[in-house]
Amino acid sequence: MNMSFLADIQEGFWFPKAASSFADRVDFLYFAILWICVIFFVPIVAAMIYFTYKYRQRPGYKGNTEALHNNTLEVTWTVIPTLIVVWIFWEGAAGYLEMSRVPDDTLDINVYAQKWNWSFKYKENGGESNILYVPVNQNVKLIMQSKDVLHSFFVPAFRAKRDVVPGRYTYMWFRPTVEGVYDLFCTEYCGDSHSNMVTKVHVVSEEKYKLQLAELVKEPEDIIERGKWFYQRKACMSCHHAGDLGAKGPGPNYNGSWGKPVKLADGQEVIFDEQYVLNSIRNPSSQKRAGYENASAMPAYSKSDLKDEQVDAIIAFIQSLKDEKP
């Protein structure tokens, strides 16, 4: 079904621009239901108002006590709505099946959801990112799993939404049709910073997609930039702000922390230095920071998750922020 002429009407008012192969079908059904409701609602309400006035109670008026019956009218208002509802069901079911039946020729990408961050791993070369990159006009299959609680993957421009459930894999597919940058949300409440679990989908050409994948596996040479690279890819940014002056999150802000005393929940005081950062990464529960006792538990990163030299890079990145004023 090609209803692309709807895209210009809906963009900026009803929906974002339609940018996937089945978005137009979803929009067509939405507008069909909308106008069916309008077409029925207006005359029914007008008739109610008219009949309320025409048959209002008046002095000396005595209504007919006999029950009135009109077979033609009753059959009409039963059959027509039934046919409309059956058609709506048929269109909705057909669209749902189209979204559910994953084609064979897909580009597979692993999706990991955790509070409060999305991460994507590309099977072609093992690259990872917090932004989803996909090539235009190719079928893309997402293999999704949650590391903690229930999340929900939603790209409004694709009209694509699927829950990401802990303890199981969920799947969805789409074929992006328009190059551009689109919003990606979590639409299932997942904790304090649920509203911050937002990222972008970049739909690019095949050539740019391959170049981007090559960049994802290329660690920056500069140790500070490399630390920032790991900070973005290891979900640190979902809880700890860095470079965003005064911003607050579920975890402490990195800005202006280096070399300063840190008060722990047990009353002890330590210095924000290399050892403190290492302990916070390897065994975060051992030194909970005062004021963050009720925050969601930070996962411990073993050496298989973060190598010692990668931790050193993260430390260098945090240390570079020491002149920032929180």
Domain ranges of the chain: 6-55+70-100, 107-216, 223-319
Check whether 2 has a pLDDT greater than 90: no
> Which range has the top average pLDDT, 95-99, 125-129, 313-317?
95-99
What CA–CA distance (Å, rounded) separates 289 from 322? 19
CATH architecture of 223-319: Orthogonal Bundle (1.10)
pLDDT tens-digit series, residues 102-130: 988 899 999 999 888 898 999 887 888 88
Residue type, 296: S
196: phi then psi, degrees, rounded to nearest 5: -90, -5
Check whether 24 has a pLDDT greater than 70: yes
Q: Average model confidence (pLDDT) for the chain? A: 82
- pLDDT grade, residue 9 (50/70/90)? very low
Please tell me the predicted confidence (pLDDT) of residue 322: 63
Asked if 51 and 63 count as a contact pair (C-beta separation under 8 A), the reply is no
Within 10 angstroms of residue 38's Cβ, the number of other Cβ atoms is 10
**Assigned fold of 6-55+70-100:** Helix Hairpins (1.10.287)
What CA–CA distance (Å, rounded) separates 91 from 89? 6
Check whether 100 has a pLDDT greater than 60: yes
Read off the pLDDT of each residue in 20-31 and give the average, rounded to a whole number.
Answer: 89
Count of all residues that appear for the chain in the document? 326
Weakest-pLDDT range from 5-14, 41-50, 97-106, 248-257: 5-14
* Phi-psi map region of 60: left, alpha, beta (phi>0 left; psi -120 to 50 alpha): left
- Identify the CATH class of 107-216: mainly beta
Q: Scan for tokens 């903690």, then name that residue.
A: 148
pLDDT tens-digit series, residues 276-302: 888 777 887 777 777 776 655 677 777
Closest to 21 in 3D by CA, of 105, 132, 100, 137: 137
Who's near 204: CB < 8 A, 6+ residues apart? Answer: 133, 134, 135, 136, 179, 212
pLDDT tens-digit series, residues 169-191: 999 999 999 999 999 999 989 88
pTM of the model: 0.63
